[in-house]
Structure 1
Amino acid sequence: MTMQTWWLFVVTVFFISATPGPNMMHALSRSVQVGFRRSTAAMAGCISALFLALVLSMVGIGAVLAAMPRLFDVIRYAGAAYLVYLGIKAWRSSDDATDATSGGGSESRASAWSLYRNGFLVGISNPKLLLFAAAFFPQFIDHHKPVLPQFGILLVTYLFSDTLWLSVYGIGGHSLSRFLSRRPVRRAFNRLTAIVFVAFGVVILRAKA
């Protein structure tokens, strides 16, 4: 892998990571609910899921899913159901800003492990990630040279880019929380969050292996 190829990869994943998706929306909403510092546990869960998906793609799981549509469908339905569940949960969450910021709400009392676990589930709920990684990574690897070191470089680059953008969305959520002190505004934010998560679930549900 040449330096030019690596830079092309950097630019590509920078914009891929910046694109709003379930992980970014989760980081933003968690930061609003529990604050930026505690939301980093949820971000760590998202990153762990990404790491696992990328490693699995390297060992050929993406090809297995592509070759076994029924298995892909099971994972796809489960992922879509979880995102829809998050949407329903957001829709029904408290509209009182003090519940989410002063410790009165269940979200603000969530443990670091709970935040991490939920972030991981959001991150791993998209089976298309495995197929994407399996098709995307080989485009930047020179198979005439040792593959493992190249994959390591690409993996670290991708994780760094995603962590950067998760932090940006998290900081944005923390800043946004200042404007959510009014009940109508917070209600609108909760409803928008719910709609976005359900929409992501529908997109995954309609995906094809």
Structure 2
Amino acid sequence: MAIHTWWLFVGAVFLVSGTPGPNMLHIMTRSVDMGLRRSVAAMAGCLSAVVIVLAASAAGLTTLLLALPGAFEVIRYAGVAYLLFLGVKAWRANVAPVDVGDAPIVPSLSRLAVFRGGFLIGISNPKLILFAVAFLPQFINPARAQVPQFAILVATFAVIEAFWYAVYAFGGRSLSRYMSRPMVKRAFNRVTGVIFMGFGLALLKVKPA
């Protein structure tokens, strides 16, 4: 892989990853509700899902998945259902004022549960599969060993994605300072819920290439 090809990939991924989506919104809301420190588990869950899907692309598994009749549709509708569920849950969430410290707002929710929620958000998004299948291979030089190239691209994507997770988490941490009033928190929950439901409905239009 030529260095200019890698830089093109870096630029494209930086813009794609920075665009608000379900992962970023989920991390920001976790940071608002639980504090910056506990939102790290959500970041790890989302990032694990991203790396798994991109690694599957390198192994050719996503191409096989898209070739199986009905497989993509199952994933797509599962993703839609999960995002709609999150939207309704956010809309109906508790409106207690946010504590700006890092103490957990939901003490019964373990780090494993926070990680699992992030992972489900990431893995249920079929757009990630389309990205892995249609976008990633364009930066691979077929005349050279493909495994090292995929490894470099996946690692690069993971670093950039993690950077944007941190940006959105810090944004949520800052936002929490303005949410000491239940009315503001309720408005935030409902806007978040509408956005999650919007993402879910948008997935209905996603079709495999």
Asked if these proteins are the same fold (TM beyond 0.5), I'd say yes
Matched, 1:27 2:27: yes
Equivalent position of 1:72 in the other structure:
72
Please give the alpha-carbon distance, in whole angstroms, between the structure 2 residues aligned to 1:100 and 1:88.
25
What SS does structure 2 have at the residue aligned with 1:97? coil
Which amino acid counterpart does residue 88 of structure 1 have in structure 2?
A: V
Percent identity over paired residues: 50
- How many aligned residue pairs are there? 208
**Offset of residue 27 of structure 1:** 0.6
Please give the alpha-carbon distance, in whole angstroms, between the structure 2 residues aligned to 1:153 and 1:196.
33
Equivalent position of 2:174 in the other structure:
175
Which amino acid counterpart does residue 194 of structure 1 have in structure 2?
A: G
| 8 Å contact from structure 2 (residues 17, 160) kept in 1 | yes
Equivalent position of 1:163 in the other structure:
162
Please give the alpha-carbon distance, in whole angstroms, between the structure 1 residues aligned to 2:11 and 2:102.
40
Runs ≥4 in structure 1, deviation > 4 angstroms? 98-105
Q: Deviations over 1:141-168 (max 9, x none)?
A: 1111111111111111000000000000
More helix by share: 1
Q: After the TM superposition, which residues 50-89 of structure 1 pair with which residues of structure 2 at under 5 Å, given as runs?
A: 50-89=50-89
Please give the alpha-carbon distance, in whole angstroms, between the structure 1 residues aligned to 2:50 and 2:124.
10
Matched, 1:122 2:121: yes
**Offset of residue 176 of structure 1:** 0.3
Equivalent position of 2:92 in the other structure:
92
Equivalent position of 2:188 in the other structure:
189
| 8 Å contact from structure 1 (residues 103, 109) kept in 2 | no
Which amino acid counterpart does residue 77 of structure 2 have in structure 1?
A: Y
Return 5+ residue gaps in structure 2 as ranges. Answer: none
**Offset of residue 102 of structure 1:** 9.0
What SS does structure 1 have at the residue aligned with 2:109? coil
What SS does structure 2 have at the residue aligned with 1:180? coil
Equivalent position of 1:17 in the other structure:
17
**Offset of residue 206 of structure 1:** 2.4
Please give the alpha-carbon distance, in whole angstroms, between the structure 2 residues aligned to 1:101 and 1:89.
23
**Offset of residue 100 of structure 1:** 9.3
Please give the alpha-carbon distance, in whole angstroms, between the structure 2 residues aligned to 1:23 and 1:120.
9
Please give the alpha-carbon distance, in whole angstroms, between the structure 1 residues aligned to 2:145 and 2:35.
43
Please give the alpha-carbon distance, in whole angstroms, between the structure 1 residues aligned to 2:202 and 2:69.
17
Change (3 A) 1:104 1:52: closer
Report the TM-score, using the length of structure 2 for normalisation: 0.94
| 8 Å contact from structure 1 (residues 66, 131) kept in 2 | no
Return 5+ residue gaps in structure 1 as ranges. Answer: none
| 8 Å contact from structure 1 (residues 33, 100) kept in 2 | no
Q: Deviations over 1:71-126 (max 9, x none)?
A: 11111111110111111110111111158979795x34311000000000000011
Change (3 A) 1:98 1:108: farther
| 8 Å contact from structure 1 (residues 83, 197) kept in 2 | yes
Please give the alpha-carbon distance, in whole angstroms, between the structure 1 residues aligned to 2:67 and 2:168.
35
| 8 Å contact from structure 2 (residues 35, 102) kept in 1 | no
